Amino acid sequence: MPHADCHDAMDRLLTLNEAVTAALQSIQPVYVIEPVSLLDAEGRVLAADVLARLDVPPGDNSAMDGFAVYLSDLRQGTVTRLPVVGRSLAGHPYPGPVPRGVAVRITTGALIPEGPDAVIMQEQCRVDPEEGWIEIEPDIAARRRSGENIRQRGEDVRAGTVLLSQGRRLRCQDIALV
């Protein structure tokens, strides 16, 4: 009885390089670009790079609740007392420049007012809300540095930065970026 085999003994297997070449030659590019809503975008492939339209954060803002101050106003070796002249809240910034020798109450995410160069955490200040002043101990003042507790404009993402590259298959976390 003849040997029945589904493989012809004369056929040879392709090498890996031959198989890859054959596979690449059979790929057809997709030329149809179809706009879809964000609700339907998960699993779709980007036709073009997605660029950041703005800086994130869009302006210098406070990394925590506290007081915006000029470091040069903090005394070395003695307690610094500063009057609190206003506040800067997220979405409601302090209006105008801040004069020297004062503090501005600031909340996390609020824009840094014009002038101050650091934010002192509220836990590091003694506050008298009725009299309207804060006190900062000299050991706290001595350890401060310019830019402390301030998130700089564009620190996370600069406008024009590629957020998602062409050809990327979109996941739900990618869609949150756009």
Domain with residue 86: its CATH number is 2.170.190.11
The residue segments making up the domain with residue 84 are: 61-151
Is residue 110 situated within a structural domain?
Answer: yes
Is residue 113 situated within a structural domain?
Answer: yes
Is residue 166 situated within a structural domain?
Answer: no
- Whether residue 101 contacts residue 88, with contact meaning beta carbons closer than 8 Å, is answered with no
pTM of the model: 0.72
SS3 164: strand
Is residue 93 situated within a structural domain?
Answer: yes
Is residue 72 situated within a structural domain?
Answer: yes
Is residue 163 situated within a structural domain?
Answer: no
Alpha helices in the chain (DSSP H): 16-26, 138-142, 172-175
Omega before 99 within 30 of 0, i.e. cis: no
34-45 per-residue burial string, b: 16 or more CB within 10 A, e: under 16: eeeeeeebeeee
Is residue 14 situated within a structural domain?
Answer: no
Q: Distance of CA 98 to CAs 71, 75, 117, 168, Å?
A: 13, 18, 11, 46
- What's the structural domain count of the chain? 1
pLDDT in tens, 55-65: 999 999 999 99
Is residue 138 situated within a structural domain?
Answer: yes
pLDDT in tens, 71-118: 999 988 899 999 999 999 999 999 999 999 999 999 999 999 999 999
